[in-house]
Amino acid sequence: MAAPRYYTVTWDQLHRDSKALAWRLHGKGPDEGRFRGVVAITRGGLIPAAIVARELDLRLIESVSVVTYDEEERGIPRVVKSPIAAGDGDGWLLLDDLVDTGTTARVVRGLLPKAHFATVYAKPAGKPLVDTFITEVSQDTWILFPWDTEPQFIAPIAKTAAAGN
């Protein structure tokens, strides 16, 4: 089995990528190019949603929370907080940091079928479920978001590959 690939995203990069997403979304809303509001998928979508909402001058922000795993154990997805104000999603922007396998995406699509679904990052398995994204990463890549990491020294790829890691 191959070693997992890691892609580290810094705070600066997340901000740039979220702003790029806002540029791509600008003018795509149903009301004269504007969305009614943003529904952030918690927890990962909260920070990108705040950045996109600022850039698109959206003040109405809702959230939806779907729990699919606890630590390392996957389970059946459970909606623990619904986005009441968003109705069926008509006119709303649904936002997350990443679409991976599509498990969470399918659940929120079921709750908000008329929303425009955007993510900052997308993997191949989940990509067909979103309307807009910025960066595609391979399915075997694990994205390390800034809220999950700390800055530290990492050996160059050539050195770790030579050591068999």
Please pick, among 17, 57, 70, 96, the residue that the annotation labels catalytic.
96
Catalytic one of 17, 31, 70, 100: 100
Active site residue 96: yes
132 within 8 A of 26, measured Cβ to Cβ: no
Could you give the CA distance from residue 67 to residue 103 in angstroms, rounded to a whole number?
A: 10
Active-site residue (options: 12, 70, 97, 140)? 97
Check if 57 is active-site: no
Asked if 17 and 134 touch (Cβ cutoff 8 Å), the reply is yes
Q: Which residue has the tokens 């809220």?
A: 147
99 residue type, one letter: V
Determine contact, residues 48/14, Cβ cutoff 8 Å: yes
Q: Is 12 a catalytic residue?
A: no
Number of Cβ atoms within 10 Å of the Cβ of 133: 21
- Measured between alpha carbons, how far is 117 from 72 in angstroms, rounded to an integer? 26
Q: What does residue 117 show for φ and ψ, rounded to 5 degrees?
A: -100, 120
Task: Catalogue the active-site residues.
Answer: 96-97, 100
